[in-house]
């Protein structure tokens, strides 16, 4: 009986030991789950902070873009105003220059009219010379067209003579060299 009691006691101790192991194992699992949850929470917090930081960067970037656009618009406005002032100044200069030219022309009317008469005479002479050149070129054109027409007529006539020569001659008897010689002598004799 003692053995049974000892054996029973050992079983109880083993069961107790097994229960302790399971409890320890269960506690370790709980701690692991708890640790994993903490890691996930930390990771989620880091993600939130990254998203928040990215949003801040985007807001700063957007604000910088707005400022750049605003600055560019100001530059363009200043540039446009400077162009307007330059155009206005140039127009004033042109008006003053035009007024000075009018005064000079009115003072030098006699000199200007002599100069204008000389220029008109130069243009008249140039136009007469151009008219003579045009007439000369037209006569040259007519002459060249006449020569061209004559050459075409001669070419057609020679082609007809060559065709008749080939048709009239017994080709079987003549060699190519003889036919070429006949064509050549026919063209040279004319």
Could you report the per-residue pLDDT of 69-94, keeping only the tens digit for each? 988 998 888 888 888 888 888 888 88
Q: Are residues 98 and 121 in the same domain?
A: no
Residue 108 is predicted with a pLDDT of 64
Residue 28 falls inside a structural domain: yes
Residue 109 is predicted with a pLDDT of 65
Q: Within 10 Å of residue 44's Cβ, how many Cβ atoms? A: 10
Q: Are residues 44 and 63 in the same domain?
A: yes
Residue 69 falls inside a structural domain: yes
Strand (E) or helix (H) holding 150: helix 109-168
Q: Is the distance from CB of 168 to CB of 182 less than 8 angstroms?
A: no
Question: How many domains does the chain fold into?
Answer: 2
Q: Which stretches of the chain drop beneath a pLDDT of 50?
A: 188-190
Q: Are residues 43 and 135 in the same domain?
A: no
Q: Which of 61, 81, 107 is the last residue of a domain?
A: 107
Q: Are residues 25 and 74 in the same domain?
A: yes
Q: Are residues 40 and 65 in the same domain?
A: yes
Residue 114 is predicted with a pLDDT of 76
> Which residue range is the domain that position 189 belongs to?
117-190
Residue 24 is predicted with a pLDDT of 93
Residue 112 falls inside a structural domain: no
Q: Are residues 73 and 129 in the same domain?
A: no
Q: Are residues 156 and 183 in the same domain?
A: yes
pTM, rounded to two decimals? 0.32
Q: Are residues 52 and 31 in the same domain?
A: yes
Q: Are residues 11 and 66 in the same domain?
A: yes
Q: Are residues 57 and 136 in the same domain?
A: no
Residue 182 is predicted with a pLDDT of 65
Q: Which of 55, 34, 53, 35 is nearest to 45 (CA)?
A: 53
Q: Are residues 84 and 122 in the same domain?
A: no
Residue 3 falls inside a structural domain: yes
Q: Are residues 89 and 1 in the same domain?
A: yes
Residue 149 CB-half CA count within 13 A? 6
């Amino acid at each position: 009986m003692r053995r049974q009691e000892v054996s029973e006691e050992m079983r109880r101790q083993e069961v107790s030991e097994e229960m302790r192991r399971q409890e320890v194992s269960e506690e370790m699992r709980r701690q692991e789950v708890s640790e994993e949850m903490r890691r996930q929470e930390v990771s989620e917090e880091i993600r939130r902070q990254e998203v928040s930081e990215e949003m801040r960067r985007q807001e700063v970037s957007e604000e910088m873009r707005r400022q750049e656009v605003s600055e560019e618009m100001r530059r363009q406005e200043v540039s446009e105003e400077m162009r307007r002032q330059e155009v206005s100044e140039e127009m004033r200069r042109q008006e003053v220059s035009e007024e000075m030219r009018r005064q000079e022309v009115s003072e030098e009317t006699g000199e200007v009219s002599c100069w204008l008469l000389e220029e008109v005479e130069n243009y008249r002479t140039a136009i007469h010379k151009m008219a003579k050149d045009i007439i000369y070129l037209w006569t040259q054109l007519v002459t060249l067209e006449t020569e061209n027409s004559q050459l075409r007529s001669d070419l057609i006539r020679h082609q007809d003579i060559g065709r008749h020569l080939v048709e009239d001659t017994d080709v079987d008897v003549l060699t190519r060299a003889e036919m070429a010689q006949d064509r050549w002598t026919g063209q040279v004799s004319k």
